[in-house]
Structure 1
Amino acid sequence: MNKEISAVLKNNMDHLNSELNTDKNFDIIYRTLKIADRQAGFYFIDGFVKDDIMEKVLEFFYGIKAEEMAKDMHAFSHQFLPYVEVDILDNWNAVVTNILSGVLCLFIDGYDSCLAIDCRTYPMRSVEEPEKDKTLRGSRDGFVETVVFNTALIRRRIRSPKLSVEMLQVGKSSRTDVVVCSMDDRVDTQFLERMKDRINAIQVDSLTMNQESLAECLYHRKWFNPFPKLKHTERPDTAASALLEGNIIILVDNSPSAMILPTSIFDIVEEADDYYFPPVTGTYLRLSRFVITLMTYLLTPLFLLLMQNPEWIPQGFAFIVIKDEINIPILAQFLILELAIDGLRLAALNTPSMLTTPLSVIAALVLGEFSVNSGWFNAEVMLYMAFVAVSNYSQSSFELGYALKFMRIITLILTALFNLFGFVAGVLITVLSIALNRTLSGKSYLYPLIPFNGKQLFRRIFRIKLGSQNGGES
């Protein structure tokens, strides 16, 4: 691959035919043609090239006369190629990577370089609103699997020369495009350079799982701390506002999601809906999400603690005591239902859309009514677990939801074993897991609470007018 590009067309085509196995790979196509008095050949991947653009480019080539031919490929591209996305390649590594990325590469006898014509198009879906990051009001577009379209969606919202969009490649075999976006006048430049150095230093064969593979290469996470260090979003408006707040956005080709870093727990809980409504409504939505998220963690362990100590229940709340016979220990019921809820999630993901409604009705009847009547579960346990399962979707981060789930299970087990001391120990483990966590930039996961910044903390909790802050939604 270190061999230089030859000025003899046959040598170049023999090298590429051997390197790309064109006799075996039906989708790697090459054609020969005559440009003026010289032989030429070009390579491309079937399905990636825009036919109409190629037809127009070839029309210019066929109209060139022998006496008009330029002395080298650079002059040729300027004189006879009125297309905007062209490049001159001088080494085989770049040629092979461009061809396999969908770029058309042209060789002309007598020129010792390659002309790369980027007339590719990728199969893609429309930029529709993402299923996960929906809003009641606001933009209805979302990121797709093509990184060029994703950067265009961000550029559409930030028309500033300070916006930098740098492309890197990761993976020996996959050579996946990774785009790092930042605002030059707002980003922490030291952290930005450190992230780019980490990406360039990654030595893997491929990013098989796209962003998750990249995230695991960027930092060696502590497996015992499940709280996420990154925020993922499929919304261009959220990504754009994060850039304006000085964060870094990382886009990975073939992934419809953007990575926002550095990220604190306050960033993860925030959503775009907080800013698409007036300040009072936005504040209510944000505080509701904070309270509900906290309840999804505390509700079932607190209920178990009170059932173990019914004398602590105030007279006005005596109705929460389980009155029916308990056939299975309450802890076992909670743990079984925690597993069952995840089973239903997995089943819903693999259920054909046309069967979703009837199967949901069957699941509700069988797993709800009959499981209580059969004596497996008590109605109160089913009620509280149903609340936890539904309320878990009040915030959009899957990672945060599962982190709270793991902490909830630990607290349940400790409460069942050690009563009040176990409950306190479980809560303490959760608090320490959050407080001792660090963002990728090394800062506190609880900023602006720790270290304390009253002005920023107020803005994190209460939604204020957009004109009075230097960002927007995040």
Structure 2
Amino acid sequence: MEFSNSLSDNMYHLNTKLDVDGNFDIVYRTFYIGEREACLYFIEGFTQSDLWQKILDSFSSIKADDIPQDAHEFSKRYLPYGQVGLVKDDETMVKQLLTGISCLFINGYNKCLTVDCRSYPSRGVSEPEKDKVLRGSRDGFVETLVFNTALIRRRIRDPKLTIEVMNAGESSHTDIAICYFKGRYDEKLLTMIKDRISSLKVDALTMNQESLAECIYPHKWFNPFPKFKYSERPDTTAASLLEGNIVILVDNSPSAMILPSSVFDIIEEADDYYFPPVTGTYLRLSRLVISILTLYLTPMWLFFMQNPELIPSWLQFIRLSEEPQVPLLFQLLILEFAIDGLRLAAVNTPSMLTTPLSVIAGIVLGEYSVKSGWFNSETMLYMAFVTIANYSQSSFELGYAFKFMRMIMLITTALFNFWGFVGGVALSLLAIVFNKTIAGKSYIYPLIPFHITELKKRFFRGRLPHRKK
């Protein structure tokens, strides 16, 4: 419905549509501008009251003869603050109002003047809990979209950086920012992302980025290896944009989706570049080796325990010191589930109880579980290493992908011995090799297709460029 020139008709329609009597936070105020009645709609908690006080003070000096007949001319003369727009239909006006934009109606104008005086509640841009670095910037993304885009703009002061805003969700109308650097991004991929977002038919993005990710890439859900790299660090996101990646920011989510992303992109971290090349290379190779060990250590140990005659002489110390009371497969699987249970418990444990409960858990699960005969000390040792080493890389999705592949290899090794171990290793490799990025390219580039120069960059951290080539 389009607005009319009558303020009373517009107010009657909007008060009914917005249910202003039932919604305490949807506020409207009537006043006069140069002897013309006006009405201001806004959301309590989303509006900068001091800015509107300045605007209303400027309205008090307007005389009746000074008011122009056109709403556009009025906005040019008397609304010097904020981003101002004109809306002629109620659907667009309601959507903007519910995002926090203030809406001004003046009797005699058939358009609504929208003034962006939003002030979203947000927390500080402190360092993320997961994406920490030993050296480097200590700021991180928050749940407010405009703050996140500002953190990126602060690092890339170039007009070629483009940030487009779309929205999705019939009820939520969630804001989605698509960021890319002109001249460096994949145009086909950008077009595909925009088309899929614009064609979304969902009521709301209830889980923010995860809901959007599943809508953008709904295929091959059974492959656990992630298609996106998530980062809560503005410096990592800015570097990815300059490398030609596309970044998606979703309102109410404190992390960025970076795509396309290969497995090498996901393993890579900011610490690799905050240290000199030698140190950065060491950190990168260490992380890669540790990631491989978390995947294959326990299945390989189980295989050797089932075939002790294959253990080399220099590895005899890995043998069990005591005869197991519970089959090793069940010990390892129980510990896999127990670790996830402890992780979930840690998330929901009040901070004041974290230390005493950690001590109790360490004593009970560490010492008494071995003495009771449920677990062998070697099993506890290797699973403790896998658990701690899993946190050497920041991606939760990649960590759980390794976990699922590791559990499959444990089961196949226990059931089919040598061929089960070989089959499990082959399955994990095929899951990585035949996986594709969201752009349809190889997940393990530059291994396949092979590119020696890029491969060196993935394994060895070279000098940062000092000038544009």
Following superposition, the deviation at residue 469 of structure 1 comes to 9.3
Taking the aligned partners of 1:85 and 1:134, their CA distance within structure 2 comes to 36
Correspondence for 2:438 among 423, 440, 457: 440
Matches within 5 A, 1:76-225: 76-225=74-223
Q: CA deviation at 1:128?
A: 0.5
**Aligned mates of 1:316, 1:143 — CA distance in 2:** 49
2:366 corresponds to which residue?
368
CA distance in 1, matches of 2:468, 2:185: 13
Deviations 1:244-292 (A, max 9, x none): 0000000000000100000100000000000000000000000000000
Q: Equivalents in 2 of 1:256, 1:349: separation in Å?
A: 18
Equivalent residue, structure 2, for 1:37:
35
Q: Could you say if the C-alpha distance between residues 469 and 429 of structure 1 is closer, same or farther in structure 2, counting changes exceeding 3 Å?
A: farther
In structure 2, the residue matched to 1:406 is: 404
CA deviations 1:209-248 (Å, max 9, x no partner) are 0000000110113232100000000000000000000000
Secondary structure, in 3 states, of the residue corresponding to 1:319? helix
Secondary structure class of the residue paired with 1:467: coil
TM-score, structure 2 normalization: 0.99
Which one is further off, 187-196 or 387-396?
187-196
CA distance in 2, matches of 1:428, 1:316: 27
CA deviations on 1:374-396 (whole Å, 9 max, x unpaired) are 11000000000000000000000
Number of residue pairs aligned between Structure 1 and Structure 2? 469
Q: Is the 8 A contact 2:231 2:257 kept in 1?
A: yes
Is residue 54 from structure 1 mapped to residue 40 from structure 2 by the alignment? no
The code of the aligned residue for 2:440 comes to: G
Displacement, 1:404? 0.5
How far residue 468 of structure 1 moved from its aligned partner, in angstroms, is: 7.1
Tell me the distance in 1 between the aligned counterparts of 2:447 and 2:431.
Answer: 15
CA RMSD of aligned residues (A): 1.1
- 1:104 partner amino acid: S
Residues 293-323 of structure 1: CA distance to partner in whole angstroms, max 9, x if unpaired?
Answer: 0000111000000001111112222111002
- Partner of residue 323, structure 1: 321
Superposition misfits of 4+ residues, deviation over 6 angstroms: 468-471
User: How many Å apart are 1:84 and its aligned residue?
Assistant: 3.2
Name 1:308's counterpart in structure 2. 306
Greater displacement, 54-63 / 340-349: 54-63
Letter in 2 for 1:234: E
| CA displacement at 1:194 relative to structure 2 | 1.2
Find the counterpart in structure 2 of residue 293 from structure 1. 291
Partner Cα distance (2:108, 2:466) in 1 = 63
SS at match of 2:465: helix
Partner of residue 377 from structure 2, selected from 365, 373, 379: 379
| Cα distance in 2 for residues equivalent to 1:212 and 1:279 | 35
CA distance in 2, matches of 1:442, 1:325: 50
Mapped partners of 2:238, 2:110: distance in 1? 43
Structure 2 regions of 5+ residues with no counterpart?
A: none
Question: Cα gap change, 1:223/1:408 in structure 2, threshold over 3 Å: closer, same or farther?
Answer: same
Cα displacement (A) at 1:72:
1.1
Identity of aligned residues (%): 62
Whether the 8 Å CA contact 1:170–1:176 is kept in 2: the answer is: yes
CA contact (8 A) 1:279 1:465 kept: yes
Q: Is the 8 A contact 1:9 1:110 kept in 2?
A: yes
Gaps of 5+ in 1: none
Distance 1:115 1:314 in 2: 80
Report the residue type matching 1:228 in the other structure: P
User: What residue identity is the alignment partner of 2:54?
Assistant: K
Describe the SS at the equivalent of 1:439.
Answer: coil
Separation in structure 2 between the aligned mates of residue 221 and residue 366 of structure 1, nearest angstrom: 43
Deviations 1:426-450 (A, max 9, x none): 0000010011111110101011111
Choose which of 447, 451, 454 in structure 1 pairs with 2:452.
454
Asked whether the equivalents of residues 82 and 117 of structure 2 are also in contact (C-alpha less than 8 Å), the reply is: no
Name the structure 2 match of 1:274.
272
Residues in 2 aligned to 1:470 and 1:250: alpha-carbon distance in whole angstroms? 26
Residue 245 of structure 2 is matched in structure 1 by 247
Cα distance in 2 between the residues matched to 1:50 and 1:225: 47
Corresponding residue of 2:230: 232
Contact 1:245 1:470 in 2 (8 A): no
Q: Which amino acid counterpart does residue 71 of structure 2 have in structure 1?
A: M
Mapping for residues 346-357 of structure 1, pairs under 5 Å: 346-357=344-355
Change (3 A) 1:434 1:468: farther
State the one-letter code of the partner of 1:430.
S
- Answer yes or no: is the 8 Å Cα contact 2:124–2:142 preserved in 1: yes
CA distance in 1, matches of 2:377, 2:220: 38
Please give the alpha-carbon distance, in whole angstroms, between the structure 1 residues aligned to 2:87 and 2:452: 54
For 2:159, give the aligned amino acid: P
| Letter of the structure 2 residue corresponding to residue 368 of structure 1 | G
Aligned amino acid, residue 398 of structure 2? L
Q: Look up the SS of the partner of 2:363 in the other structure.
A: helix
Q: Structure 1 residues 240 and 201 mapped into 2: Cα distance closer, same or farther (>3 Å)?
A: same
**Deviation for aligned residue 1:325:** 2.2
Match of 1:257 in 2: 255
Report Cα offsets for 1:159-212 as digits up to 9, x if no partner: 111000000010000000000000011011121111111111111000000000
The SS at the match of 2:178 is strand
